[in-house]
Amino acid sequence: MALDQLAIDRLRAVAVAPGQNFVDGQHCMPRSGQAMDSISPIDGRVLTSIPASDAADVDAAVAAARRAQPGWAGLAPARRGRILQEIGARIDAEADALAVLGVQDNGTEIAMAHKAEPLSAAATFRYYGELADKGYGEIAPTAPGTLGLVHREPLGVIGAIVPWNFPLMIGAWKVAAALAAGNSVVLKPAETASLTLLRLAQICAMAGLPDGVFNVVAGTGAEAGDALARHMDVDALAFTGSGATGRKLMEAAAQSNLKRVYLELGGKSPLVVFADAPDLEAAAKTAVGAIFRNAGQVCVAASRLLVETSIHADFVARICDLAGEMKLGDPLDLATQSGAIASETQMTSVLAAIDRGHSEGAELRLGGRRRDMPGFFIDPTVFDNAPAQSSLVQREIFGPVLAVQPFATEEAAVALANGTAYGLAAGVFTADLARAHRMVSRLRAGVVHVNTYGGTDLTVPLGGIGQSGNGHDKSTHALDKYTNLKTAWIKL
């Protein structure tokens, strides 16, 4: 579905209504009545307000989810599937409005946000809707005289905590899979990107999802998020966000009811370009998009570029040309290629990382500054010859900052690529098929792209290893996170 500038401009002219929680099939404000400002990163102004919920609000949502879950799990799976598909259709029907609302909230360039947010969320609900009645149990190969049946059961109440970079897409990955498996969900969106998920709850209700099956409670991570993580009646947490928060969630689970904790955390993903890449110009374009789209606020962003020494100087020069030509600015302009940093806090954190990069001896080749305009924008930034142990190479920045490192041999490339605590994504450009396969097996990452970067669809899982997390979103495998295996052992 094409999106046109006129439609975007009409939608952005409409005042954004204050967000409200959605609990037990109804809009509601937090019991405390507290709200907080939602600031648009496009101009730094207050866009609207969202609820500042506390533990009592989370309690009410979990109680509603608990009450609703058996009825939802008790529906015929095909019926559950039809409701999920109807949610997908309704998201599609208001995709333009959802995309504009989301961009006003988090600053992703609209051309990307439209596809990655509503359209991808709609596809996710359809995908899991179709799967709802396709999961079979097992008959175990036991000895004669017994029958071993393996049933798949929903876990119960899932707590989902999601970030601000792609709230609808990531939220849908968790919610649609959890609902398809017969669970109910309480979701806590990020404080800087709650509006589209609050709207999603309403869309779900209009599509026929029973009251209480999907609840959205907005608030801070420290208060509403923590209350969900510590709740004694939540069976599992499904999280995407930073490693620091992931650690807190594991602690909260350990200190409460030992709920399962699924973490999709950050990355410092390497893109390795060999001199024999089939098309170096295409590789350079891909590398630029892989770090600078959505201003680098992408968990699989290729924030490290490893280039074979013989092409290093020319390749980096080309990267800087291409990145310098990117159209940075108003994310609601369809021509914009790199949008805003989602919040002032995040912008400050990215600028601090750039300062550290200078002090660590890397060579700044491009950018390095906040753009002089309203809102939160940072120029695409390229550091060359970044030292292997520098924070530029070792720490996720989650902004438009690329660290380049040259390498001389395949062995050295693997060592550099695997030289961080992360393991989310990686990429390789080479025309050598044997080398491509070797790299896929040697690179420590949940996904390795070959002669491309960042492409994906719902049929393949996404998940990290090492400090990039555990568990997988997307594909049939995501259902494993939301189901329990129960054995029936029967004497015949």
Provide the binding-site residues for ligand ADP, judged by CB under 6 A.
161-164, 188, 190-191, 221-222, 225-226, 229, 241-242, 245, 248-249
CA separation, residue 436 to residues 278, 286, 410 (Å):
12, 17, 11
Write b or e for each residue in 223-242: b if 16 or more Cβ atoms lie within 10 A of its Cβ, otherwise e: bbbbbbbbbebbbbbbbbbb
CB of 389 to ligand ADP, least distance (A): 23
Q: In what order do the strands lie in the sheet with 483-491?
A: 138-140, 146-154, 483-491
Q: Is 138 a catalytic residue?
A: no
Least separation in angstroms between CB 346 and ligand ADP: 7
**Block residue for tokens 């989650």:** 398
Q: How far is the CB of 387 from ligand ADP (least distance, A)?
A: 25
Strand order in the sheet with 260-264: 26-28, 21-23, 214-216, 184-188, 157-161, 236-240, 260-264
Which residue number, 248 or 481, has a Cβ lying nearer to ligand ADP?
248
Q: Which is nearer to ligand ADP, 188 or 293 (CB)?
A: 188
Active-site residue, 204 included: no
Nearer to ligand ADP, 188 or 304 (CB): 188
| Tokens 């792209």 found at | 449
In 3-state terms, what secondary structure has residue 259?
coil
Q: Which is nearer to ligand ADP, 85 or 106 (CB)?
A: 106
Task: Identify which of residues 248 and 268 has a Cβ nearer to ligand ADP in the complex.
Answer: 248
Distance of closest approach, residue 217 Cβ to ligand ADP, in angstroms: 11
Reference 167, options 187, 185, 186, 147; nearest CA is 187
Quote the CA–CA distance of 379 and 372 in Å, as a whole number. 10
Name the minimum Å distance from CB 162 to ligand ADP. 6
Instruction: Compute the least distance from the CB of residue 240 to ligand ADP, in Å.
Output: 7
For residue 82, the one-letter residue type is R
Catalytic residue of the set 117, 264, 308, 396: 264
Query: Measuring CA to CA, how many Å separate 304 from each of 214, 307, 397, 485?
Result: 38, 10, 11, 40
Give the C-alpha distances (Å, rounded to integers) separating 447 from 154, 177, 443, 466, 482. 28, 20, 9, 13, 22
Instruction: Report the residue number, 100 or 298, with the smaller CB distance to ligand ADP.
Output: 298
Cα 379 from chain centroid? Answer: 23
Per annotation, catalytic residue among 191, 299, 308, 320: 299
Helix, strand or coil, per DSSP, at residue 459? coil
- The catalytic site residues sit at 264, 299
